[in-house]
Amino acid sequence: MKKEKQEKKILYNFQQAALDKIKNFDNALLAAEMGTGKTLMSIEQSERWNSPALVCLVLKSTVQQWLDELESQTDRRVFNGYKKTKNDGIDAFIACSERKCIVIGYDAYKARCAKKLREYINANSNDVTMICDESSLISNMKSFRTKAVLKSNTAHKILLSGTPHGGRLENLLPTIQILGWPMTKEKFLQKFCDVYEWTNPARPWVTIPIIQGYKNIDELHRGLEQHGTVFLTMDEAGVELPERIEQKIKQKRTADYKKFMKNGIITIGDEEIIGDNSLTKMMRARQLCSIYNPERAAAVEELLLQAGTEPVVVFYNWIAELDILKSICERLKRPVSVVNGQGRDLSAYNTGTPGTVICVQYRAGSMGLNLQSSRICIFFSLPLSFSDFTQAKARVHRIGQNRNCIFYTIICEDSVEEDILYTLAERRDYSEQLFARTYGEIGGVAA
């Protein structure tokens, strides 16, 4: 059965004003706060440029959402980059002579399977516009994902992000290159970063720049604006969202956690948990606060009972956490929707089934997911990325939400979770270096 075409959306005045600021640029960055409608604005801007072909690079979990938006907002033939049929997919897109667009995930775009698409784009560069959703994903100049985007010659590129640098200004370097701002890495570090040159005592001829802080932020923002960036916050847009209520639920550390942090190794049941370096030790410490802490599951169960029949969004990190959540929902007879790296099933949520619990893995669903039918979020464990944490909250607290939102953060006292939450509150990522500095690095534990 043919799907009914959705009604075309009309831009708000603040969205029109934002696009007017970038109308004279070939490439642009929409650095707009989550919930301001970046997807709609980017599609409208691409239509203004009116290139025959439009390529949208997005999160794999949001492909269908983008396909639906493009179907309703444009008259283009819409293709799914993951399909391989006669009438859909990369080959069908390339063969099509009509106004067209294709939606594909970043990781698929950089892969061998999309080589034809990349070659087509470079051969027809004057006729192609590219939209890069959640452009913070192309922040590492050395990654294959970023290189694939930078090597794609297009007439226009539009980047979308609510957190374009994710708390690290040096992550803007690929964006600066795309915008056409002549700025080398060395000049960027000199002008906008406080850099300490670390010298390896064993190799004194080798120095490594370590960024300790940032400077001249206003000048950086002005430079970005002069090269096609529009910054947009909810306050600037005149959009008043409902109140956001943040509640911390504290739990005690377990004896196992204390023993592990002291020795770097512990046995729970038949499982041996080892932290033989700062990275694995940090991961295991976080898991001891959530997966291996019975109070964590009990707290989530209590919160779900309090929510009654309301839909509740629960963010998690590891599959073992999802297994715990599913077990709780089965015990409470709650329907479950899941968004993670293995797939996306929102059928229970979309049909409005009472009491649905939406389990969302940070990396797969903290960006580009609309869940404003919910107003309650539980963070089963914390992410290390400030961007992921902020984006997760914006899944429910966004345009279209008309009720106060409640965010429950469950943390163990005197643990790595408290340090992570403190660091995220400072709009910074929590890194392996921070952990090692605080807790020390365990070495030589594993046999």
Q: What is the DSSP string of 55-121?
A: EEEE-GGGHHHHHHHHHHH--SEEEETT-BSSSSBHHHHHH--SSEEEEEEHHHHHSGGGHHHHHHH
pTM (predicted TM-score): 0.68
What is the mean pLDDT of the segment spanning 77-97? 96
Specify the pLDDT at position 94. Answer: 97
> What's the token pair of residue 379?
């963070």
Residue 444 has pLDDT above 50, yes or no: no
What is the mean pLDDT of the segment spanning 268-286? 92
Specify the pLDDT at position 167. Answer: 66
Residue 377 has pLDDT above 60, yes or no: yes
Residue 152 has pLDDT above 80, yes or no: yes
Q: Give the residue extent of every domain in the chain.
A: 13-183+217-237, 244-439
Specify the pLDDT at position 197. Answer: 81
What is the mean pLDDT of the segment spanning 139-168? 89
Specify the pLDDT at position 445. Answer: 44
* pLDDT tens track for 162-178: 877 766 888 899 999 99
Instruction: Compute the mean pLDDT over every residue in the chain, rounded to the nearest whole number.
Output: 90
More confident residue, 32 or 292: 292
Specify the pLDDT at position 391. Answer: 85
CA distance 299 to 317: 17
For domain 244-439, give the fold.
Rossmann fold (3.40.50)
What is the mean pLDDT of the segment spanning 360-378? 85
Which residue matches tokens 């041996």? 272
Could you tell me the pLDDT band of residue 213, with boundaries at 50, 70 and 90? Answer: confident
Specify the pLDDT at position 370. Answer: 84
Specify the pLDDT at position 166. Answer: 63
**What percent of the chain clears pLDDT 70, i.e. is strictly above it?**
95
For domain 13-183+217-237, give the fold.
Rossmann fold (3.40.50)
In sequence order, what are the residues at sequence separation of 6 or more whose Cβ sits closer than 8 angstroms to the Cβ of residue 95?
A: none
What is the mean pLDDT of the segment spanning 377-405? 90
Could you tell me the pLDDT band of residue 159, with boundaries at 50, 70 and 90? Answer: very high
Same fold? 13-183+217-237, 244-439: yes
* pLDDT tens track for 235-275: 777 777 889 999 999 999 999 999 999 999 999 999 999 99
- The C-alpha torsion from 95 through 98 and 104 to 108, rounded to 10°, is 20
More confident residue, 128 or 270: 128
C-alpha closest to that of 183 among 196, 169, 197, 194: 169
Secondary structure string (H, E, C) spanning 156-214: EEEEECCCCCCCCHHHHHHHHHHHCCCCCHHHHHHHHEEEEEEEECCEEEEEEEEEEEE
Specify the pLDDT at position 436. Answer: 78
232 contacts 38 by C-beta, under 8 angstroms: no
Could you tell me the pLDDT band of residue 322, with boundaries at 50, 70 and 90? Answer: very high
Specify the pLDDT at position 442. Answer: 61
Buried b (16+ CB within 10 A) or exposed e, 5-35: eeeeeeebebbeebbebbeebebbbbbbbbb
